[in-house]
Amino acid sequence: MSSPSAAVHSPFRACLICAAAWAVPGAGHLWLGRIQKGVVFLITLPLMFASGLWLEGRLFPFDVQQPLVALMAVADIGMGVPYGIAKALGVEGGRVVSITYEYGNHFIIVAGLLNMLVVLDVYDVARGRK
């Protein structure tokens, strides 16, 4: 069960917590004492991201010449450290001829977008709005 934190953090500290929440999915909730939610995000979001890579999805490059690709890259980066680990391991290329390529892309993109929602939730909690 979640144990809501009663403390209202300063904007700077709230942003610091948000940065942690972005870097490691669930870390912000864990920091604020919402253990159950933090553990759920810590397990689910990296697992969804890893599923996308397993399905041979691609981490899109940030290319402003192709606005949709750039938006997908922003969504991918929303995943934080797991994104960096995937890049470092060189598994970001995907395989466009794979039957699961598009599924993989969507798993990766949605995992990043969900983590952004989690970051917004962390900000609200840190500022005492929830």
**Residue ranges binding other proteins (CB under 8 A):** 1-2, 4, 36-37, 40-41, 44-45, 47-48, 51, 55, 99-100, 103, 106-107, 110-111, 114, 117-118, 121
Q: How far is the CB of 63 from other proteins (least distance, A)?
A: 26
Q: How far apart are CA 33 and CA 63, in angstroms?
A: 38
Residue closest to 111 by CA, chosen among 64, 56, 43: 43
Which lies closer to other proteins via its Cβ, residue 8 or residue 63?
Answer: 8
Nearer to other proteins, 92 or 103 (CB): 103
- Decide: residue 74, CB within 10 A, 0-12 exposed, 13-18 middle, 19+ buried: middle
